[in-house]
Structure 1
Amino acid sequence: MFLNSRDLVDEAKDYHLMPERRPHLLAFKTRPRCCTSIAGLIYAVGGLNSAGDSLNVVEVFDPIANRWEKCQPMTTARSRVGVAVVNGLLYAIGGYDGQSRLSTVEVYNPETDSWTKVGSMNSKRSAMGTVVLDGQIYVCGGYDGNCSLNSVETYSPETDKWTVVTPMSSNRSAAGVTVFEGRIYVSGGHDGLQIFNTMEYYNHHTATWHPVASMLNKRCRHGAASLGSKMFICGGYDGSAFLSVAEVYNSMADQWYLITPMNTRRSRVSLVANCGRLYAVGGYDGQSNLNSVEMYDPETNRWTFMAPMVCHEGGVGVGCIPLLTI
C-alpha cells in the first residue's frame, strides 16, 4: 500500500509535534540518517606524543586529498579529550593535561582558525564519551581522577550551560559512545575493576537508559561510530590484549556480528564516519602510540591505510566538520 502526500505530512507532523512518541515512529521515513555523500574534514585534537605527554596540538585531514595539515593549537593541553561538532564549530571538552582532569571546554572556529573558551562542565572528566543529539552535546561517564563515572551532562550551545541528566546504569570510563537511530548508545568501558561487553542506550525524550545486546568482545578504549543503518565498534583493550577486532550492530535483530579486523591493534582509538566510510585514527598497540590511520569501506569490508597524522602519536579526540558548513 502506498501513502499519499497527506499521509506523509501527517506522519511528519506527529514526529515533530509529539517528540515523546518518536521512539514508536522510527520508520524509514523518520529514522535519523547521516548523509553519506557529503565529505567532511576530520580534526584530530590533543592526545599524546611519543613520550606520553598531553598535547594541545590540532591537525586536520582532507580525505579527498589524503593529507593532514596543522591548525591553531588549543589553549590547553588535553589527552583523552571529548570532541563534538555543532553547527560547524568543534568543541574540545575536558580531558587530562598531564597533571589533572579537566572540566574546561573550548570551541574551535575553522573560519577564523581560533579557539574560544566556553562554559565548563559540572564535573572534571577524561576518557568520557561525547556525542551530539538534536543540537545538544552529551558527555557520558569518564574518569575524574578518583573513580569511573556514571554521570551524564548535556550542553546547550545557545545558553552556554551544562545540565546533569539521568546517569547510566553502570560506571563507565573509556566506553564507546555514538548516536544511532536517534538514541545515545554506550558500549563497553570499565569501572576500575572490570571491563564490560555490555551496552545501554539513552532515550533523551524519556530521560531513561535501556540495556540491549552485549558486544561479542569485552573492551574499553575502543572506537564507536554509526554509519547508515548500522553501528560499528573497533579496537580497544580487553584486559589482556590490545585489539584489532571490529564488530557491527544490527538493531533490528539486536545482535552483533564480526567484520574484517583492522590491520593494526589499536587501543585509545578514535572512530569517525565520513562520506560513507569509517576512519580509525591513532591509538596504542601495546608498545607505542600510533599516528597511523585506517579507512573502512563497508561495501568491500576492507580496511586501507591512509596518510598518517603529522603532529600526533595517538590518543587523540576526533571530530568531523562537513565541508558545506565551513
Structure 2
Amino acid sequence: MRRDEFLKTMAALAAAGALPISARAAGTNIKMMIPANPGGGWDTTGRALGKALTESKAADSVTYENKGGAAGALGLAQFVNGSKGDPNAMMVMGAVMLGGIITGKPPVDLSTCTPIARLTSEYNVFVLPANSPLKTMADVIAQLKKDPGSVKWGGGSRGSTEHIAAAMIAQKVGVDPSKINYVAFRGGGEATAAILGGNVTVGGSGYSEFSEYIATGKMKAIAVTSGKRLDGVAVPTLKEQGIDVEIGNWRGVYGAPGITAAQRKALTDLVLAAVKDKSWTEALAKNSWTPALLSGAAFDKFVDDDFASLRATMVKSGMV
C-alpha cells in the first residue's frame, strides 16, 4: 500500500473510532462531563478516571466540566444536547442519576446516551455533627418517631441513595416515609458544609466523602448501609442496630448519544485500559471504593434492572 493510501485508511479508521488504542492514544482528547458540583463522589470519580486515562496513556488529555443540580439532570441535559455523535465525550453517572430521573422526570432521556462501564460501588455512611445532642442512630430514630419533621436529613440530590435510605429507615421503624424532612444539596461540598455547620440533624453520603471528618472527630459516624461492616471501619451497620436496610451506590460512565458501535467499543477499551493503571488502583484504596467493573451488554442489562429495582423501592417507601 502506498503511503498516501495508508494515511487515508488510517484517517478513515480514526473517524470511525476503529483504531486500536495504541494508534489513537496520542490524539485522544477526552471531554468529561461531571453532572455535579466539585467535591462529591461523581467529581472524585471523574477526575480519578481522567488521571488514569492519561497516566495509562489511553488518552492524551482529559478536560472536565462540572454542571451540578437535579441529581445530575442538568449535566445530563447539557451532555445530551451538546455532545451528540462525539466519540471522545464521556459523562460520569450512577445510581443517584437513576433515582433522580425516577423522582424528577427530566425532559432528557438517559437512554439516548451510550452505556460504557460501571466502575465502582460504595456504601453510604450516616453521620451527626460533632456538637449534636444526639449521639447514636437510636437517638435519631427516637426523635424521628417523636416528630419526623424535626429530623433534618442532609445529603445528595432528591432520589440519591442516601435519600432512599432515609425513606427506607423511616418505613422500617414505623414512620411514614413521606414525612421525612430531607434537605437535598447539589454536591458533596455543600452537604459537608451543612453538616459541619450543624445545619442538618443527620447527614449521609459515601464513606469516602466523610472519612477525613470522621477521623478528626468533626463528624460522628452512626451507621453504614452495607450488609456487613466495611473493612477497617468501626461503624455499625443499620442491620446490626435492628433496622433492616441495606443499599449501595454505584458509579459509572456513559458515552454521547449517536456514536457508532465501533466508537462505543473504542471508548470502552480506553476505560478498560485506564482501570488497570496504578493510579486507579490507588484511587480505589484511598476512597474506599469497591471495584465493580461491568461493560457491554451486561452493563446495559444492569442499568435496566437497577432502574426497575430502584423504582420499586421508591414506590414502596412512598417517594414516588
Please, what TM-score do these two structures have when normalized by structure 1?
Answer: 0.27
Q: Which has the higher strand share?
A: 1
Q: Does 1 or 2 have the higher relative contact order (CA < 8 Å, sep 6+)?
A: 2
Q: TM-score, normalised by structure 2?
A: 0.27
